[in-house]
Structure 1
Amino acid sequence: MTAFVSRFCVGGDGPAIAIKDSIDIAGYPTVAGSRALRHAAPAAEHADVVARLLDAGWSIVGKTTMHELAFGISGINDFAGTPVNAQAPDRIPGGSSSGSAAAVAAGEVRIALGTDTGGSIRMPAACCGVAGLKPTFGRVSRRGAHPARSSLDCVGPFADSVDGIVAAMAVIAPDFDASQARDSGKTFRIGLLDDVLADPAIVDAVASALRKAGFTTQRVRLDGMGAAYQAGMQVINFETWAAFGHLTGAGALQPDVEQRLLAASATRRDDLDRAEAVRRAFTAQVDAVLYEVDVIVLPTLPELPPLLSAVREGRSILALTTLVRPYNLSGHPALTLPVPVADVPIKAGLQLVGRKGGDETLCAIASRIERAIASGGVAQ
């Protein structure tokens, strides 16, 4: 099934880009993949990121499908459509920005925008074998993105190469330095996260990609990952219930989203207060590690994308976000890049986490890794 819910052409003759259907485009309804919002009025004005793209002469070619209300990670949506994962059609495309990732993977567009509240750019990018960036929280305007209020969510790009990520960021983040984001041969200190609970083949694939790029690494630890994952869940539950809880009870939501929202309604203010304490502690811990290294490297997902059939039959996949969700809580930028896995046709995701405001550094390091993988050895 196509990754698009609607196709049109707005803008100039510059690069083509697709936009997730939780981001406003004037004259088109923002439905967020939900039957409950199918009668939404067309947006009155462009989201800030859309306005910046159009002002720069880019061409918006349509809106992409998504997991309903951006509150799910499989990408399965029987109302708006479940896009096909081009690198593994029998596996989930990932969510919630499923259509944006799938459109890039299928070659329908080279660049797309999504949103990431708990891994919703990085997870589908890793599932579909493309690059994706969750920028530093607050660096890219969320005005015109839904839900309107979030302490976790970021608008960011998918692309078929790191160069596409850089091109998009140079437009949607006015202070982004594209020249700094392109690898200049600078020496970087690489921290490889220790004791990661992930498939050993994926851990090996990440380490192999770093070696191919000529990086030496040092081991680093983040003992607060588990607590940050749980706290991130509390925050997203509290904020999503506040935004969309009123849509429950009418029979218009997918069963998985309805159940998840109703469960989220049990999150109380004291739960949120405890989560905020974890946020402060984990943020400080990540900052401390990033004082010693320029970037933290780990797998994006702990395993390869699960089979669609297994997820439809009820397999729980929430643990797929254990390595991505903590960095929504802390607000650090995180980029995922596809890397080959030995003896497997499906690529996994290598995740880079950097200092706040250091999105350009992530792109420069990712570019070097990307070139090394393409050439089969150390990037030149």
Structure 2
Amino acid sequence: MNEFISEFSLGDADGPSIAIKDSIDVAGYPTTAGSRALANAPPAAAHAEVVERLLEAGWRVVGKTNMHELAFGMTGINDYTGTPENPQDETRIPGGSSSGSAAAVGLHLTCAALGTDTGGSVRGPAACCGVIGMKPTFGRVSRHGVAPLVSTLDCVGPFARDMTTLTDVMAAIAPGFDEIAAATPLSAAKIGIVAVDALREIRDAVARAPSLAGFAARDVELPRLRAAFDAGLVVINAETWRAFGHLIETGKLGPDLDARLRHASLTTPADLEAAESVRRDFTAEVDRVLDSVDAIVLPTLPALPITLDAARSGTSVIAMSSLIRPFNLSGHPAISLPLPIAGSPLVAGLQIVARKGADELVCALAAQFETALAAQETLA
């Protein structure tokens, strides 16, 4: 399927190319969020702030990318606009919701892309498609001109095939981002390896990565990780219902979206209050761990992406976001980096998380992991 909902060219004709998720406004083009219910939306009157910044920095916008409908799903399957091809394996899901952005980068259709990450929707597709994806610190990058209008979780973030390109995008979209610091190797770093439930081969690859990069490492625990995963879904449900619940009346939503929105409508104020309590506790827990290490690492996804056939047959994908959604709830910056695993032609994802505001540190660490993992692959 076509990774682009629409292809065009804006900006410097000689600039590096970047594609924009269809939940982000590009002036003159409708923002449909991959939904038939918004197919007749009027063209956006102005660029989203991130698009304006990219154009000012010399980037060439080459199109809008496909997505899971209304950014409310993890598979990336979209029977209305089409399902993007997973560059690693066309039989597997590309991940959602920023499916088209991850796929377009992985298929070398563009140098970079923007997505949005509310519950893992940049990092998940990045891991599925074998590319790099970053969720900045919540609030670090403007959401002006991004749907939904209001969110306490959602972040605009970049995809790229290499860290140099990704930091170039961050320098364009994040005010005050220090590109030099983000590219400066660290002489030493302390890494915490989070104990999680994931495929053994992925856990083993994560555990090896710090020593390969020359970093000191120790095991750390986040006991509230599962509670944060559950609480994050409560917040997502409440905020997505608030933003898009009215679209049920159109009768034009896909069956999965209709069902998920109706379920989201059942979220109570008490549910949300409990979720906010978990948010406070989990955020404090992550902050405490990061007081003793420079960053923590864990798998992006607990397993490799399932097949399209399995997803269409009803195989649950809720666990896909078990290790990524918690950091939307807490607001910490996180990157997913391609991670080779033993015995598989597919790469998984290494997730790197650091203190709030330390987006440059996350990038610097990721660049060193990138170099070390590439060297290991060469030796292998």
Q: TM-score range by the shorter chain?
A: over 0.9
Conservation of the 8 A alpha-carbon contact between 2:53 and 2:172: yes
Please name the residue that 2:274 is paired with.
274
Q: Which residues of 2 match residues 112-151 of structure 1 at below 5 A? A: 112-151=113-152
Deviations 1:72-111 (A, max 9, x none): 0000001111000011111000000000000000010120
Distance 2:353 2:346 in 1: 23
1:182 aligns with 2:191: no
Conservation of the 8 A alpha-carbon contact between 1:183 and 1:365: no
Distance 2:352 2:101 in 1: 20
Please name the residue that 1:301 is paired with.
301
Conservation of the 8 A alpha-carbon contact between 1:214 and 1:378: no
Distance 2:106 2:377 in 1: 24
Secondary structure of 2:26's match? coil
Task: Report the Cα offset of residue 330 of structure 1.
Answer: 0.3
Extract structure 1 runs of 4+ deviating beyond 3 A: none
Please name the residue that 2:326 is paired with.
326
Task: Report the Cα offset of residue 205 of structure 1.
Answer: 1.4
Please name the residue that 1:109 is paired with.
110
Q: Which residues of 2 match residues 181-260 of structure 1 at below 5 A? A: 181-194=182-195, 196-260=196-260
Conservation of the 8 A alpha-carbon contact between 1:212 and 1:377: no
- Residue 288 of structure 1 aligns with an amino acid whose one-letter code is R
Distance 1:347 1:218 in 2: 24
**TM norm structure 1:** 0.98
**Matched positions, count:** 378
- Residue 348 of structure 1 aligns with an amino acid whose one-letter code is A
Secondary structure of 1:366's match? helix
Distance 2:304 2:215 in 1: 25
Distance 1:376 1:235 in 2: 40
Conservation of the 8 A alpha-carbon contact between 1:213 and 1:377: no
Distance 2:29 2:329 in 1: 31
Conservation of the 8 A alpha-carbon contact between 2:185 and 2:368: no
Conservation of the 8 A alpha-carbon contact between 2:186 and 2:365: no
Task: Report the Cα offset of residue 184 of structure 1.
Answer: 2.2
Please name the residue that 1:339 is paired with.
339
Please name the residue that 1:286 is paired with.
286
Conservation of the 8 A alpha-carbon contact between 2:33 and 2:71: yes
Distance 1:184 1:312 in 2: 44
Distance 1:161 1:89 in 2: 22
Deviations 1:316-371 (A, max 9, x none): 10111000000000000010000111010000000001100011111111111111
Conservation of the 8 A alpha-carbon contact between 1:339 and 1:349: yes
Task: Report the Cα offset of residue 375 of structure 1.
Answer: 1.7
Secondary structure of 1:158's match? strand
Task: Report the Cα offset of residue 39 of structure 1.
Answer: 0.2
Distance 2:77 2:185 in 1: 40
Distance 2:344 2:215 in 1: 24
Conservation of the 8 A alpha-carbon contact between 1:117 and 1:328: yes
Distance 1:60 1:372 in 2: 32
- Residue 300 of structure 1 aligns with an amino acid whose one-letter code is T
Task: Report the Cα offset of residue 269 of structure 1.
Answer: 1.3
Secondary structure of 1:155's match? strand
Distance 1:346 1:109 in 2: 21
Task: Report the Cα offset of residue 183 of structure 1.
Answer: 3.3
Task: Report the Cα offset of residue 377 of structure 1.
Answer: 7.7
Conservation of the 8 A alpha-carbon contact between 2:23 and 2:32: yes
Please, which runs of 5 or more residues in structure 1 have no aligned partner?
Answer: none
Distance 2:348 2:122 in 1: 14
Task: Report the Cα offset of residue 378 of structure 1.
Answer: 11
1:161 aligns with 2:198: no
Greater Cα shift, 359-368 or 32-41: 359-368
Conservation of the 8 A alpha-carbon contact between 2:77 and 2:93: yes
Conservation of the 8 A alpha-carbon contact between 1:279 and 1:329: yes
